[in-house]
Amino acid sequence: MTATLNTTTPFPKHLLTGLQYAENNFLDEHARHLHLDKQLLRSRYDLNGKKVLDFGCGMGGMTLWYAKNWDCTVHGVDLDPAHVQVAEFLKEKYGLQNVKFHCQDVLEKPLTDKYDFIVLNDVVEHIPMPVLEKIILQLRGSLAEGGVIFLSFPPWRSPYASHVTSAVGLPWCQFLPQKMLYRMIEKKNSHITGAIESDLLSAYKGLNHLTFNRLENLTSKAGLKTRWRKSHCLLNRVPAFKNVNFRVFPLDFLVTKEFVEMSA
């Protein structure tokens, strides 16, 4: 079955899985890996009247969510043309006028606007560290006065940091011998939507093993300061521990996601 835009423009079949994934991320408030992000964003920020940059927006699920839930203008930027194609389709499908998407390498074509709120959702762990350092510096220059940067990512010690846990069936699999893990991924390897990373193995190989300390080292060089941080841990599922940050060894291996707010 082929999805269509305005009943006349066929949507590429090889992007349908990505389309379904992005649409679910947009519409489902309880999307598995995004419900915490959405809860924190709703509770901490009022984006009404703000100019928002969703950097590394992927297929636009969260970008569209910002545009739908706040009276703001949203700019989604991603390096992968397949991702932007999906995002543009969903924008037209839902008729959102306060959002735009660009396929752009910001190191070759730098950002020129200033933004009140810059968000990097599950993207920083996919960028090579030398490149990430340059991008963070540029994003620092793209902050409007009083603006903030919000980042979320699974730290490298996370049980799910490999991004292939579901396929391999083993949390913390990133700590297995590399050749063994590669063989395990290859047995379960599958296509994912993307022109740059098109399967699970390439996605895993593209990870930069990011930790909060490594991130803060880059951001401090760019003149950014951490204003707030939440380390979400498996133990937070216990009501008595809901708001506790477990960051010390060995409990840091149970942290599933880091949420960080930074400013100049």
Instruction: Provide the CATH topology of domain 15-161+207-263.
Output: Rossmann fold (3.40.50)
Instruction: For residue 159, give the nearest of 251, 66, 45 by alpha carbon.
Output: 251
Q: From residue 5, give the alpha-carbon distance in Å to each of 14, 59, 82.
A: 16, 16, 16
Token look-up 């043309």 returns 81
Q: Where are the domains of the chain?
A: 15-161+207-263, 164-206
How confident is the prediction along the chain (264 residues), in pLDDT tens digits per residue? 334 344 345 778 889 999 999 999 999 998 888 999 999 999 999 999 999 999 999 999 999 999 999 999 999 999 999 999 999 999 999 999 999 999 999 999 999 999 999 999 999 999 999 999 999 999 999 999 999 999 999 999 999 999 999 999 999 999 999 999 999 999 999 999 998 899 999 999 999 999 999 999 999 999 999 999 999 999 999 999 999 999 999 999 999 999 999 999
- Amino acid identity, position 189: N
Q: How far apart are the first and last CA of the chain?
A: 49
Q: Quote the CA–CA distance of 197 and 159 in Å, as a whole number.
A: 22
Residues pairing with 100 in the sheet: 75
The two tokens of residue 129 are 């560290």
